[in-house]
Amino acid sequence: MYKYICLIILGLVVTVGTMAQKTPEAGKFVFGGYGEAVAQRMWYTDDVARYAYPETHKGDTHGRFDLPHVVLYMGYEFGKGWRLSSEIEFEHGGSGSAYEVEYEEAGEYEHETEKGGEVALEQFWIEKTFSSKANLRMGHIIIPIGLTNAHHLPTEFFSVLRPEEESALLPCTWHQTGVSFWGVAGPLRYEALFTSGLDAERISSSEWIHGAALSPYEFEIGNAYAGAARLDYTIPKLPLRIGLSGYLGASALNSLKWKRYDNKNLKGMVAVGDLDAVFDNGKLIARGNLLYGHLSDSYLLSLTNKGLPSAGPGARTNVASEVLSYYIEAGYDVLNLFNANQCGKLYLYGHYGFYDSMYGHDSRLQKQGWYRKHIYAGGLNYYPLPQVVVKAEYTFRQFEEKYNYNNEPTLSFGVAYSGLFIK
């Protein structure tokens, strides 16, 4: 069987290798990145018991300052269609630690964690371009499921933070080690990916598969595999781009302790389907996204996960058999009304969305009402330059009245950039 697979791959390489392709010059170095700085005031508590005891926390507030994502991008052209690309991401300012001398303890040295945050290699891949229609990418790559994963730069969405309806349910940005084959043919862009599966231990009731792609170990578990695909079709005359993406992969066998699932014959198949669209004529921008996800064996996975060791990285919660989210947003450049485009662009926008992280579940599992959320938002995006945006946003996270939870309003301000410094 492996002989035939190798012959197919060889034939593919020979075929696309004969296509005419003008490649960038060898030795070209590209450097850039993107980043966000955010300030927020929330008119609700961040106490973990705010849904268990809503009356106790009515009227509480809190605030945050944050650097959600700061990314440095570097690329290099080797020549003959071969290139390298990498992104190093500092989430929430990165992590920090230091040695301190404790003078009250006879001058002993202590090693302390100074701050939270993460430093991650978001992308690292080597790519071979055969033609514009055929490119092979190998390494740590973005899994472009949904609108935000495919277009995650802070200049590509209105909200101060990434849209909650997607980022609360999916890894965002979703990046894993694997292989991608992609190309562009006229108005159509396609991509097909092969990677490792998700980790069933890290699927949760409130965030579904959000944390299941990030390995807590020094390696990504590869006991099970997954595939993903994305199609984008652009209609220039409108101008409108429509995207369709999907994912399918096993999660139960991709746990480090996979036998606890295998003994029960659990697969934990994760299936995700997503439809998104963007209309952008420079004056009006409208976006929409519809996400549906399914997980097999959710009841037995829930029972198994709740019995995981408390010291491990597992979520130890019930998990949904189905999740659903959608949102629509639209913004208009009001400076265009006054013929003041030399001042940049100022988009006034509105947003509505919904998501439920336990949309479908086994009747034997308990579901909390706070899993089901409606999001109302509006604000301003000011672009003095295409690469720089200043944002202000008011968000109202609403729960259904029958659950008696406190609604969660937030006022957010942000400044962000995205661009190449050397190209």
Q: What is the pLDDT of residues 266-314, one digit of tens each?
A: 999 999 999 999 999 999 999 999 999 999 999 999 999 999 888 888 8
In the chain, what are the domain boundaries? 2-422
Write the Ramachandran bin of 160: left for phi over 0, alpha for psi from -120 to 50, otherwise beta: alpha
What residues form DSSP beta bridges with 73?
32, 87
Amino acid at 45: T
- Average model confidence (pLDDT) across the chain: 90
Please say whether the beta carbons of 21 and 130 come within 8 A: yes
- Give the burial string for 66-102 (b: 16+ CB within 10 Å, else e): bebbbbbbbbbbbeebebbbbbbbbbebbeeeeeeee
CA nearest to 149, candidates 207, 224, 238, 228: 228
Helix segments in 74-169, DSSP class H: 147-150, 164-167
Map residue 261 onto helix, strand or coil: helix
Q: Which fold has domain 2-422?
A: Porin (2.40.160)
pLDDT score of 108 more than 60: no
Q: What is the pLDDT of residues 40-77, one digit of tens each?
A: 999 999 998 999 999 999 999 999 999 999 999 999 99
Which pLDDT does position 5 carry in this prediction?
A: 38
Q: What is the pLDDT of residues 381-398, one digit of tens each?
A: 999 999 999 999 999 999
CA distance 81 to 229: 23
Identify the H or E element spanning 8: helix 2-17
Mean pLDDT is highest, among 148-157, 217-226, 359-368, for 148-157
What residues form DSSP beta bridges with 295?
270
Amino acid at 21: Q
